[in-house]
Structure 1
Amino acid sequence: MALYETVFIARQDLSSAAAEQLTETFTQLLKDNGGEVKKTEQWGLKTLSFRMNKNRKGHYVLFNIDAPHAAIAEMERQMRLNEDVLRYITIRVEEHEEGPSAMMQRRDDRDRGERGGFGGDRDRGYRPRREDGAPEADLIEGAVV
């Protein structure tokens, strides 16, 4: 069987319990058609980039799926028919990522690295200087700064 990742967005006026029930419905549909959901992540209610069907927010859900194509096609057909699903996307992947997805990982300013924005010498206009206080030459030797 092939590996897939599916993300769908449910309407904002659904309760969290109703969004979870929708998730369970699609999970059971995949199981009935010979597939298996390896991981499910509820990303919660998030603001959309633009309005969709008069909705400004939506409940996001991620599935990591191991299923035949027929099961995926049936799940997508049911998503198209369901009025609570605003959008969905399914992609085929070579392997599923271990651990939480990028949306579920906690962002921390310390994890930004040296090119991450605030902090680091580059943001403060730091230039290396010689002992006498004059700036060091750039990459090309003999260059005047």
Structure 2
Amino acid sequence: MPLYEHVFISRQDLSNTQAEGLIEHFGAVLSDNGGNVVDSEYWGVKTMAYKINKNRKGHYAFLRSDAPASAVHEMERLMRLHDDVMRVLTIKVEEHVEGPSVQMQKRDERPERRERR
């Protein structure tokens, strides 16, 4: 099955438990449609670059999944209909990177950037 990474932003006035509940809910949608969630992360409340629906901040969540395309389409459809979800981004990847995402790593644990010319 194809591998995907999903990032979604939910409204800032949700509690942390409600935002984490959205991760579980959409993971269950993937599971019900023949896929599975490999890993999920809650990145917390972050300030956005611009306002979305009069919100300056949002709860960010990240999912890694191994699911058929039909399951991903169904999850994205439900995310667009959900009132608490403001934005969704899904990317198809060749392989999942082990360990935490870059957002969850501490600055000194990240690999060094190459120098600019």
Q: Under TM normalisation by the shorter chain, which class is it?
A: over 0.9
Q: Does 1:75 align with 2:68?
A: no
- Report Cα offsets for 1:64-84 as digits up to 9, x if no partner: 000000000000000000010
Where does residue 15 of structure 2 map in the other structure? 15
Structure-2 separation of matches of 1:98 and 1:4:
14
Moved over 3 A (4+): 111-116
Alpha carbons of 1:96 and 1:113: their partners in 2 closer, same or farther (altered >3 Å)? closer
Alpha carbons of 1:57 and 1:99: their partners in 2 closer, same or farther (altered >3 Å)? same
What SS class does the counterpart of residue 23 from structure 1 fall into?
A: helix
For structure 2, the 5+ residue unaligned runs are none
Greater fraction strand = 2
TM-score (norm 1): 0.75
Larger radius of gyration: 1
Question: What one-letter code is carried by the residue in structure 2 that aligns with 1:55?
Answer: N
Where does residue 57 of structure 1 map in the other structure? 57
Where does residue 32 of structure 2 map in the other structure? 32
Where does residue 4 of structure 1 map in the other structure? 4
For structure 1, the 5+ residue unaligned runs are 117-145
Q: How far is 1:108 from its partner? A: 2.7
Q: How does 1:72-111 map to 2 (within 5 A)?
A: 72-108=72-108
Alpha carbons of 1:115 and 1:72: their partners in 2 closer, same or farther (altered >3 Å)? same
CA RMSD of aligned residues (A): 2.0
- Report Cα offsets for 1:75-122 as digits up to 9, x if no partner: 00000000100100001000001111111110039x757859xxxxxx
Question: What one-letter code is carried by the residue in structure 2 that aligns with 1:80?
Answer: R
TM-score (norm 2): 0.93
Question: What one-letter code is carried by the residue in structure 1 that aligns with 2:80?
Answer: R
Q: Percent identity?
A: 56
What SS class does the counterpart of residue 108 from structure 1 fall into?
A: helix
- Report Cα offsets for 1:5-60 as digits up to 9, x if no partner: 00000000000000011111101111000000000010000000000000000010
